């Protein structure tokens, strides 16, 4: 039988590539629901092609536009955060592709986990904000969370058939982004337009800026801790500019297993959907003969303090990673809009972490309150 998908963030980078996989494997997958933030026009085009039972737009002000665009179809049209959290619980859904950007993805992912769905997780902020809660809910509801991020998919593949207790450390690779060799003085002057030109990957604006600051890699450290059940000090970040080795696992006997491939998200998305099978793909093959060299560098947390702040947040635990994420979302957007400088991003985050109320054992309601408080504090540091 075909697996039925709910795709949260269908108009974004991960969402559109997920639909590529559905097109390529129509015998295996069908779309039950599509969810977008504000992109009504593209969502309507997708809905006409894939004929889902329902579509949902997060921005409630765009509801009438979407309803009008699909008025001649039988597709149900919904809007708002409540509707998204409700629709992912539908009995017809087998897999929820959680690809909404940022904190907004937390609530529907929790709802899907509580319904026992399989989660193809591309929204790393879900585990950054509430990793402990997600871990508990996944166990309680017998849900599966499968990684979509290329790095975590690489780790997942490298762990196949192994005992997690034999892991010595996880090696997360980072491209280094567009500013890998910039000095601190140069970083003071960089623009959002420059930061959005990633050397290897095509991603959405928010995650591309996070890659430039290395906050994205910090988030991946936190995500790896919860996905694979290791300590944060067992996770090492290595800068690998070629983005050929997507990540690796070192075992206690000294062996290192890694997953290699071209910088293409179709493979990790497809693996999350088809696991434990591997399906055919037309993706570009890795040709080792054409690779001149593979280089590795230690990350510089003086020039890229966001990585240090992420380690600090997970070491302190509680609601601190939630604060980290909220402050980053505010600072990231401010930089994209020209309201703060590149090197102000970690300053805003660090100051917000120092001032936000600490909660050692947060509930879901505590995460919501922390997110609100941290955003308010972060905004006060932006002129």
Identify whether residues 201 and 299 lie together within a single domain: yes
Q: Are residues 141 and 82 in the same domain?
A: yes
Q: Which domain covers residue 302, as residue numbers?
A: 152-316
Same domain, 196 and 103: no
pTM: 0.92
The reply to whether 107 and 32 lie within a common domain is: yes
Say yes or no to pLDDT of 200 above 80: no
Residue 181 lies in a domain: yes
The mean pLDDT of 254-275, rounded to a whole number, is 95
Q: Would the pLDDT of 206 be above 80?
A: yes
pLDDT tens readout for residues 357-370: 999 999 999 999 99
What are the beta bridge partners of residue 107?
none
Where residue 309 falls among pLDDT bands split at 50, 70, 90?
very high
Pair type for strands 235-239 and 76-79 = unpaired
Per-residue pLDDT, averaged over 122-130, amounts to: 92
Percent of all residues in the chain with a pLDDT value above 70, rounded to a whole number:
99
- Residue where a domain terminates, one of 116, 147, 178: 147
Which of 299, 316, 333 is the last residue before a domain boundary? 316
372 inside domain: no
pLDDT in tens, 101-124: 888 889 999 999 999 999 999 988
Helix or strand or coil: residue 21? helix
Can you give the pLDDT at residue 115? 96
Output the pLDDT for position 186.
94
Contact criterion met (CB below 8 Å) for 363 and 140: no
Distances (CA, A) of 327 to 196, 353, 380: 20, 8, 11
Clarify whether residues 143 and 163 are in a common domain: no
Residues 306 and 158 in one domain: yes
What is the C-alpha to C-alpha distance for residues 165 and 368, in angstroms, rounded to an integer?
Answer: 34
Count CA within 13 A, CB hemisphere, residue 276: 3
Give the pLDDT confidence of 138-163 residue by residue, as tens digits: 999 999 999 999 999 999 999 999 99
Identify the CA nearest to 311 among candidates 376, 383, 243, 217: 217
Q: Residue 55, Cβ neighbours under 10 Å: how many?
A: 28
> How much is the pLDDT for 373?
98
Predicted confidence at residue 329, as pLDDT, reads 95
Identify the pLDDT of residue 204.
Answer: 77
Statement to judge: residues 240 and 92 lie in one domain? no
pLDDT band at 235 (very low <50, low <70, confident <90, very high): very high
CB-based contacts of 93: which residues, under 8 Å, 6+ apart? Answer: 4, 5, 6, 32, 33, 112, 117
Q: Identify the DSSP state of 72.
A: T
Domain final position from 91, 119, 147: 147
Q: State the number of CA atoms in the 13 A half-sphere of 367 facing the CB.
A: 22
Cα–chain-centroid distance for residue 283?
21
Q: How many CB atoms lie within 10 A of CB 337?
A: 10
Same domain, yes or no: 80 and 204? no
DSSP sequence for 262-325: -S-THHHHHHHHHTTS-----SPPP-GGG------B---TTT-HHHHHHHHHHHH-TTHHHHHH
Residues 80 and 221 grouped into a single domain: no
For residue 36, the surrounding DSSP H or E stretch is strand 29-36
292 and 163 assigned to the same domain: yes
Mean pLDDT of 68-73: 96
Which tokens go with 80? 């708002």
Number of structural domains (the chain) is 2
Please report the pLDDT score of residue 138 as a whole number.
Answer: 96
Q: What length does the chain have?
A: 383
Flag whether 262 is in a domain.
Answer: yes
pLDDT in tens, 71-112: 999 999 999 999 999 999 999 999 999 999 888 889 999 999
Residue 40 sits in a domain whose CATH number is 3.40.50.720
DSSP for 122-175, written as a single string: --THHHHHHHHHHHHHHHHTT-EEEE-SHHHHHHHHHTTTS-GGGEEEEEEEE-
pLDDT for res 201: 66
Instruction: Write the CB contacts of 58 (distance below 8 Å, at least 6 apart in sequence).
Output: 35, 36, 37, 38, 79, 80, 81, 84, 100, 104
Largest CA distance in the chain: 63
* CA dist., res. 88 & res. 12, Å (int): 18
Phi-psi bin for 185: left (phi > 0), alpha (psi -120 to 50), beta? Answer: alpha
Same domain flag for 188 and 226: yes
Residue 346 lies in a domain: no
Domain presence at residue 341 = no
Angle CA 235–240–245, to nearest 5: 80
Residues 6+ apart with CB under 8 A from 348: 327, 330, 331, 334, 340, 378, 381, 382
The pLDDT score that the predictor gives to residue 133 is: 95
Task: Please report whether residue 284 resides in a domain.
Answer: yes
- Tell whether 8 is covered by a domain: yes
One domain, residues 185 and 221: yes
pLDDT given for residue 102 in this prediction:
83
pLDDT value at residue 205: 87
Identify whether 331 is part of a domain: no
**pLDDT above 70 (res 262):** yes
């Amino acid at each position: 039988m075909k697996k039925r998908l709910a795709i949260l963030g269908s108009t974004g980078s991960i969402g559109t590539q997920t639909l590529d996989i559905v097109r390529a494997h129509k015998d295996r997958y069908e779309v039950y629901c599509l969810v977008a933030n504000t992109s009504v026009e593209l969502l309507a085009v997708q809905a006409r092609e894939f004929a889902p039972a329902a579509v949902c737009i997060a921005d409630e002000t765009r509801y009438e536009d979407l309803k009008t665009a699909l008025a001649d179809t039988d597709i149900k049209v919904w809007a708002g955060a409540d509707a998204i959290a409700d629709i992912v619980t539908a009995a017809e859904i087998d897999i929820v592709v959680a690809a909404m950007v940022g904190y907004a993805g937390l609530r529907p992912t929790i709802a899907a986990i509580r319904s026992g769905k399989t989660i193809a997780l591309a929204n790393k902020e879900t585990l950054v904000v509430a990793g402990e809660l997600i871990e508990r809910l996944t166990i309680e509801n017998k849900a599966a969370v499968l990684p979509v991020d290329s790095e975590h998919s690489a780790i997942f593949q490298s762990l196949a058939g192994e005992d997690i207790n034999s892991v010595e450390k996880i090696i997360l690779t980072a491209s280094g982004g567009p500013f890998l060799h910039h000095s601190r003085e140069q970083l003071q002057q960089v623009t959002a337009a420059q930061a959005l030109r990633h050397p290897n990957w095509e991603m959405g604006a928010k995650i591309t800026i996070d890659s430039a600051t290395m906050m994205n890699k910090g988030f991946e450290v936190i995500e790896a801790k919860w996905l694979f059940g290791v300590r944060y000090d067992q996770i090492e970040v290595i800068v690998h500019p070629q983005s050929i080795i997507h990540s690796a696992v070192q075992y206690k006997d000294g062996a290192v297993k890694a997953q290699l491939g071209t910088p293409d998200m179709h493979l990790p998305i497809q693996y999350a959907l088809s696991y434990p099978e591997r399906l055919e793909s037309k993706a570009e093959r890795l040709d080792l003969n054409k690779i001149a060299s593979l280089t590795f560098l230690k990350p510089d947390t003086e020039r890229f303090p966001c990585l240090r702040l992420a380690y600090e947040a997970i070491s302190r635990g509680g609601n601190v990673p939630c604060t980290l994420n909220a402050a980053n979302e505010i600072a990231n957007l401010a930089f994209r809009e020209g309201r703060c400088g590149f090197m102000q991003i970690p300053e805003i985050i660090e100051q917000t972490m120092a001032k936000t109320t600490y909660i050692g054992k947060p509930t879901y309601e505590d995460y919501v309150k922390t997110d609100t408080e941290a955003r308010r504090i972060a905004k006060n540091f932006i002129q």
